[in-house]
Structure 1
């Protein structure tokens, strides 16, 4: 007990006696890109678990299995006691972690309000994840499973750069994808100087990606694509219309599936991280990377396990000229963002 003045403990003994579940701060990982539904519940549970002696409040897993504590325990709770808790809120379009102060009863009311959408979100997440695993395990020469995503843009650095260059660094965009077919797997990364991630970039990339897949699988008949639900990139009417064109162009049955919000992470995230780490290591060793073309040359020299290609701007311009008349005729689809497609 830190309040006991009679205890004299050396730093070595303190370190040796440290429980394994108590991590040294320097060894703790930085957790980011968490699901807002799960983290909102988790933050409420953290505050309540300090006041309510109920094992079901210790973790999200136990809370999901048992949403209420025993009635006898609830009678012992001083619901008027003042506590503080945190929640993620949107403020002018920006996510912010805000502190709230109130009674245990108010915190419980906040938790109760979030339970229904949380359980629906968990259901959707598990159903879509289960379907994804089912599709991967049922692939063959005729049916292929594909996951796609945009990696975070790579900011091109320079070794021994002067101070004035910090704000003039350029970025490249990375589109990552992985194909499952029986026991085989193929990874693709497309690199662009264009960082807009707009519908014309995506159309250009999908044309080239589907062409590569068709070359590898001559008997391809069904292609199941999985991605996150980013509205700017994938979950929008222009992609829906483009899928019809791509299905006709490549003579395949084409379906697109969306993971639950904030649960689209997978092998594609590892592809982006791997390629960027290889290029960044080369930059630290003195190599110059000033464009998507440079990025591709360096990345290809470091790995053969990933097929890496550049998408030049003139291909995107050609796609814009071809697709703009088609996209102009596409009508809005109500509640696209709200619905879960599987």
Structure 2
């Protein structure tokens, strides 16, 4: 039902005045409108509006609202127990991504809805203010308080106007969408026509190209062209085609890069049968005339054995790099190098024993002894295998055991000259014992293997000079690596003495490790276990330093004492720092005193302290600890 503008203005304001109700003029209708059938979208929006009203009504009543929340909680618990609802930590990575994407989309929709609501509220307030101004100008009667508060009918009209605006916006959006769809459809039709035209052009060009191409030169085609219009026997035709095929095969094989294959075909086609029937001229389009004449005159056999000397020299250089005196294998089981140059290739890493210049000098001297000219230094460096590398500074092995290293170098010296088959100390121990992990076998108390000895090779003379290295103290009482040499007979006795010493050392190391591990894992209540050690001293640096500070050795060093304290159920790591660089007994006690002061208040009833110390601690620290703990102290050395 439509009203005029004047009547609509009066409808907005007649309740705010004392005037009698206005009579609205009804516009004449052109015809009765048909009731449209609701669409699915309209039905859904109507249903959603009814649900919103129902929820709003429940929220207004506190009891109903609380009952609804309780019902929702119970429903959620039932769904959670049934496994229909998953928490974020129960989901798979794919489900997590889907849930997070949905949350992002809903958050965007919510923020867009809030923006729309805010803009609509602003528009509504502006319309209300306009309606109040119009009512105050047209009618005189409402008080100041009534002018400030809009009436219910005014709000109803504003809401209706807002709906009309929203409907108009929706129509505009729908119109734009239809327009875009129409444009896209027209563009697709145009592109489809262009594609069809291009396809026709393509096929036309292909037909033209086929017509301009030369005729096929296959053996059957050549025979058909040669005997066109003649009736041939099928067997004769087969023989003719076979001859043409054989001709093509000979021409293809003669162009092979392999010299052996060329020799074979030239010898074959320069034989007596071809010469007898004078068919040599038939090969002029297939083979080289000079080479054919060469092999016709030469009746010697084929020279098939041609090995490249360069490949042999390259192989010799690679074998030189892989020698034990040039490079050594890494003992780490994970020390592998992988190359992807010619497919995946995995090799154990080898460490070079010197500079490439020194190794090249050694290689050159060996070549001169064989009366062979050595390869250049550039080629020598380029032929270095990918698994032979220089040792990095970060991969150095430090703080190794003196007994273990000295015996290892003796084993390597004997293995290098093939006196023994074993290449590691453990293999040597396994060769002279029943079981290298048995205590009786290690300390030579086993009845079966106490008299067992290592098998030395008799092929090497006892007068052979053996060169080996050993860690020892020099005249200045500094530990250095000394190169020594001895005849094989004397070195065998030295080696056997070192073997007995090493076996006892290995037994002590193994036994102490087992005892300390057992004690650490089976602590009683009131017992603590401390494993401590000094680390390397750290040098202090300034951001900016003068020259005497950098070169004069004036930097201050900090001593760091690290360790782990174990209780029955827990472990604690600790570290103490000191500007004093001493590592003697008073310094150790000073560091441990700080540890005890820090940890003792945390543990009540400590009755026994176990301290695992390293070899360089020495025995001088025990008196300091004994004075503090008395009989409640146990120390172990690793």
Identify the TM-score tier after normalising by the shorter chain: 0.5 to 0.7
One of 470, 475, 482 as aligned partner of 1:87: 470
Aligned residue among 504, 508, 514 for 1:130 = 514
Task: Identify if the C-alpha distance between structure 1 residues 7 and 209 changes in structure 2 by more than 3 Å, giving closer, same or farther.
Answer: closer
Q: Conserved in 2, the CA contact under 8 Å of 1:148 and 1:226?
A: yes
Distance 1:191 1:183 in 2: 27
Shift in Å, 1:183 = 3.9
Deviations along 1:164-207, one digit per CA (max 9) or x if unpaired, are 32221101111212111234110111111122234333333322
If you compute each CA radius of gyration, which structure gives the higher value, 1 or 2?
2
Structure 1 SS opposite 2:481: strand
Instruction: Name which of 592, 602, 605 aligns with 1:216.
Output: 602
Deviations 1:118-174 (A, max 9, x none): 222112111111111011111244222111222221111234534432221101111
Counterpart position of 2:545:
161
Contact 1:171/1:195 (CA < 8 Å) preserved in 2? yes
Distance 1:117 1:134 in 2: 26
1:145 aligns with 2:529: yes
Q: Does 1:75 align with 2:458?
A: yes
Q: Is 1:244 aligned with 2:588? A: no
What is the DSSP-based 3-state SS (H/G/I as helix, E as strand, rest coil) of the residue aligned with 1:84?
Answer: strand
Listed one character per residue, the Cα deviations across residues 213-271 of structure 1 (whole Å, up to 9, x for unaligned) are 322221322211010132xx4421xx3322232115xxx81111112xxxxxxxxxxxx
Change (3 A) 1:95 1:204: closer
Q: Distance in 1 between matches of 2:317 and 2:585?
A: 63
> Partner of 1:41 in structure 2?
407
Change (3 A) 1:128 1:221: same
Contact between 2:428 and 2:454, CA under 8 Å: does it hold in 1? no
Instruction: Give 1:44 deviation, angstroms.
Output: 0.7
Q: Is the 8 A contact 2:467 2:483 kept in 1?
A: yes
CA distance in 1 between counterparts of 2:628 and 2:533 reads 18
Q: Aligned partners of 2:502, 2:595: CA distance in 1, in Å?
A: 36
Cα offset, 1:21, TM superposition? 3.9
SS of residue in 1 equivalent to 2:615: coil
Q: What RMSD over aligned residues (CA atoms) do the two structures have, in Å? A: 3.1
Tell me the equivalent position of 1:4: 312
What is the match of residue 278 of structure 1? none
Cα distance in 2 for residues equivalent to 1:47 and 1:15: 37
Query: Could you tell me the TM-score, scaled by structure 2's length?
Result: 0.36
- 1:37 is paired with a residue whose SS is helix
2:560 is matched with which residue?
174
| Equivalence for 1:291 | none
Cα separation, 2, equivalents of 1:89 and 1:234: 20
SS in 1 for 2:573: strand
Q: Which stretch shows the higher mean deviation, 7-16 or 176-185?
A: 7-16
What SS class does the counterpart of residue 75 from structure 1 fall into?
coil
For residues 30 and 59 of structure 1, the distance between their equivalents in structure 2, rounded to whole angstroms, comes to: 19
The aligned residue for residue 116 of structure 2 is none
State the match for 1:20 in structure 2: 348
Q: 3-state SS of the aligned residue for 2:347? A: coil
Deviations 1:88-129 (A, max 9, x none): 121131112111223222322221222222222112111111
1:292-307 alignment to 2 at 5 Å? none
Partner Cα separation in structure 2 for residue 86 and residue 175 of structure 1? 33
Supply the distance in 1 between the matched residues of 2:311 and 2:485 (Cα, whole angstroms): 27
* Residues 17 and 88 of structure 1, relative CA distance in 2, 3 Å threshold: same
Q: Secondary structure at the match of 2:533?
A: strand
Give the alignment's TM-score, normalised by structure 1: 0.64
In structure 2, the CA distance between the partners of 1:84 and 1:124, relative to structure 1 (3 Å rule), is same
The CA deviation string for residues 257-303 of structure 1, in whole angstroms up to 9 with x for no partner, is 112xxxxxxxxxxxxxxxxxxxxxxxxxxxxxxxxxxxxxxxxxxxx
Q: Cα 1:7–1:175, aligned 2, differ >3 Å: closer, same or farther?
A: closer
Structure 2 CA distance for partners of 1:107 and 1:160, relative to 1, 3 Å: farther
Give 1 or 2: higher strand fraction.
1
Q: 1:117 to 1:245 in 2, by over 3 A?
A: same
Q: Are residues 120 and 8 of structure 1, via their aligned partners in 2, closer, same or farther at CA, if it must alter by over 3 Å?
A: closer
More moved, 60-69 vs 126-135: 60-69
User: 1:112 and 1:240, CA in 2 relative to 1: closer, same or farther beyond 3 A?
Assistant: same
User: Which residue pairs with 1:202 in the alignment?
Assistant: 588
